[in-house]
Amino acid sequence: MINRRTFQGSAIAAATALLSPSGFAQQAKTGGTLTYAAGVDAQTLDPQFITDIPTFRVAGAIHEALTAQDADGKIGPGLAISWSVSDDKRTWTFKLRPGVLFHDGTPFNAEAVKFTYERLLNPATGSPRRSTLAAVESMEVVNDLTFRITTKEPFAPLLAQLSAYNVYILSPTQVKKAGDNIKRAPVGTGPFKLKSWQPGEQITLERNDKYWGDKPKLDQVIFKVVPEDSARTLMLLSGQADVVSGVPSVMVKRLQSNDKVHVIRRTGYRTIYLGMNLAVKPFDDVRVRQAVAHALNKPALVQGVLSGIGTLGGSYESTVIIGHDKSLQPYAYDVAKAKKLLAEAGYPNGFSTEFFVPTGLYNMDRQLGEAIQAQLAAVGIQAKIQAPEISTYLTTLSQAKAPMFIGGKGSPTGDMDFTQTLSNGSTGRMNHFNFKNNEVDQLILKQRVTVDPEQRRKVLDDLQRAVYREAPHVTLYYEDQLWATRSNIHDVQVYVNEFVNFRKAWKG
């Protein structure tokens, strides 16, 4: 196992996910507290209501799903140790891991799986991710350690779907006891359990000494909320933080030169995009949306704001997601064409719009918003930046009330179905664009039931191209994850889906 990767040229794009200070084996130590400085706080610890990555990173230490992804996105056993599928590709039988306990002592079994899935599917629950299990026709508890799912039709992405954070298995005992407060009092089967939560400040997790697998070496992990990029970096340099995410790209060279710090760049699933609301004029006109796409100089944004740390592309899906259409290139930067399209749409002098920009959610996000604002001004679009507190920003997007905004699309599954359904499907709960297109909806349905990988890939290509033409959102770049640790921190594992795993981490 490789324990260290420094940030050096293009080779780092293929870096392993382990952050560790040396290239040779060391004896792992037990005990201690690790402090991780994150940009924003968790929004809820009820997995069925999670829609953002920072929250996923906390909940993923507490909970587990039937299947699991490794650091590179490969699907394997989780709380299910094996599975089989019927000849018609509709009925899946899962053998569950024996001897697993929830943090409250409740045994994990097939009834707990059924309870969890039924809760997600129940409209009364109100989960924004109910569609995760929309393909399920029926569920059956065969016995304590055997669970069966039958889908309405063959469903190609099922195993990936069952690894998602929205289908983490919940303790039925705790859900019934806590009610709505489960969002503040989660109980899972994971390697860590919740100790305390001071909203807006920090979340403290402690080791689950009854974990079914290898026990964590750390006593505690503290998720400390530090919105400002520079503040997180300074905390790392001073030793107040052991691990930081969202390292500002402008700080990379400084950190590289410090022998007390180690940096990693890892391409992930996240796409950073400019979204437009088709229910708000003038974004209901595709010519306006395409004008915006041509007004944006994407290479200049990556070079100027991110010091070149980002990958360009035209598809809504990152290059590391299976099925990414490489033929789709960024809309060409063309000011004259942008102005021509605006004039054809009836806006020869441009227009004004509110522009929602987050702070601390994505790397250099506020600076990115200001650079975009300047580029749009060159074609007559006056983008008035709104930068509310992060929960207000997320609520505004979820209610599809932002006329124009910077957004980020990751993927909890690594399968394109999840985010295409949620983001581009007419009824998708993360369709912040009010985008409704019959061709796109039909292609989303078609790729789900196409189980042959090559045939499915062709459908996914058609899907990506249909969305690209309509431009409800403009891909700016695929975000490269930038993380750093102190040199005495070992085996912090960063996943391609942006999860960070502290189960094997230790302090030297």
3-class secondary structure, 264: strand
Region 59-70: what's the mean pLDDT? 98
Which helix (H) or strand (E) segment is 207 a member of?
Answer: strand 202-207
Q: How confident is the model at residue 42 (pLDDT cuts 50, 70, 90)?
A: very high
Region 55-69: what's the mean pLDDT? 98
Q: Give the strand pairing for 351-356 and 381-386.
A: parallel
Tell me: the pLDDT tens digits for 114-135? Answer: 999 999 999 999 999 999 999 9
Task: Provide the pLDDT for residue 16.
Answer: 39
- Among residues 89, 85, 136, the alpha carbon closest in space to that of 450 is found at 89
User: In terms of C-beta density within 10 A (0-12 exposed, 13-18 middle, 19 or more buried), how is residue 154 classed?
Assistant: middle
Task: Provide the pLDDT for residue 23.
Answer: 52
Half-sphere exposure of 62 (CA within 13 A, CB side): 33
Tell me: pLDDT of 2 over 80: no
- % of the chain residues with pLDDT over 70: 95
User: In terms of C-beta density within 10 A (0-12 exposed, 13-18 middle, 19 or more buried), how is residue 68 classed?
Assistant: middle
Tell me: the pLDDT tens digits for 309-345? Answer: 999 999 999 999 989 999 999 999 999 999 999 999 9
Q: What angle do CA 373, 378, 383 make, to 5 degrees?
A: 30
Tell me: the pLDDT tens digits for 476-501? Answer: 999 999 999 999 999 999 999 999 99
Region 82-94: what's the mean pLDDT? 97
Q: How confident is the model at residue 13 (pLDDT cuts 50, 70, 90)?
A: very low
Task: Provide the pLDDT for residue 59.
Answer: 98
Task: Provide the pLDDT for residue 3.
Answer: 34
Task: Provide the pLDDT for residue 361.
Answer: 86
> What is the biggest distance separating any 2 CA atoms in the chain, rounded to whole angstroms?
68
Task: Provide the pLDDT for residue 363.
Answer: 85
Rounded to whole angstroms, the Cα distance separating 389 from 148 reads 43
Tell me: the pLDDT tens digits for 427-472? Answer: 998 999 999 999 999 999 999 999 999 999 999 999 999 999 999 9
Task: Provide the pLDDT for residue 253.
Answer: 87
Rounded to whole angstroms, the Cα distance separating 5 from 18 reads 8
- % of the chain residues with pLDDT over 90: 87
CB-based contacts of 164, cutoff 8 Å, min separation 6 = 65, 129, 132, 412, 413, 418
Alpha-carbon distance values, 124 to 118, 119, 184, 353 (Å): 11, 9, 19, 36
pTM over 0.85: no
Tokens at 261, concatenated = 């710090």
CB-based contacts of 119, cutoff 8 Å, min separation 6 = 48, 125, 170, 175
- Among residues 409, 417, 445, the alpha carbon closest in space to that of 159 is found at 417
Task: Provide the pLDDT for residue 360.
Answer: 81
3-class secondary structure, 258: coil
Q: How confident is the model at residue 229 (pLDDT cuts 50, 70, 90)?
A: confident
Tell me: the pLDDT tens digits for 270-321? Answer: 999 999 999 999 999 999 999 999 999 999 999 999 999 999 999 999 999 9
Rounded to whole angstroms, the Cα distance separating 84 from 95 reads 9
State yes or no: cis peptide before 282, omega within 30 of 0: yes
Q: For residues 318 and 267, is the Cβ–Cβ distance under 8 A?
A: yes
Q: For residues 169 and 63, is the Cβ–Cβ distance under 8 A?
A: yes
Tokens at 120, concatenated = 């997600």
CA 149 from chain centre, in angstroms, equals 26
Tokens at 46, concatenated = 């009820």
Tokens at 196, concatenated = 């305390």
Task: Provide the pLDDT for residue 183.
Answer: 97
Domains in the chain, please, with CATH? 9-45+185-266+481-507 (3.40.190.10), 62-180 (3.90.76.10), 270-480 (3.10.105.10)
Question: 111-114: long-range contacts at Cβ-Cβ below 8 A with a sequence spacing of 24 or more?
Answer: 111/141, 111/144, 111/172, 112/169, 112/170, 112/171, 112/172, 113/66, 113/79, 113/139, 113/141, 113/147, 113/169, 114/139, 114/141, 114/147
Tokens at 184, concatenated = 């503040």
Tell me: the pLDDT tens digits for 393-415? Answer: 999 999 999 999 999 999 989 99
Q: For residues 182 and 175, is the Cβ–Cβ distance under 8 A?
A: yes
Task: Provide the pLDDT for residue 21.
Answer: 53
Rounded to whole angstroms, the Cα distance separating 357 from 390 reads 9
Task: Provide the pLDDT for residue 10.
Answer: 32
Look-up of token digits 């807006």:
200
Tell me: the pLDDT tens digits for 420-432? Answer: 999 999 999 899 9
Rounded to whole angstroms, the Cα distance separating 111 from 104 reads 16
Q: How confident is the model at residue 4 (pLDDT cuts 50, 70, 90)?
A: very low
Rounded to whole angstroms, the Cα distance separating 467 from 439 reads 9
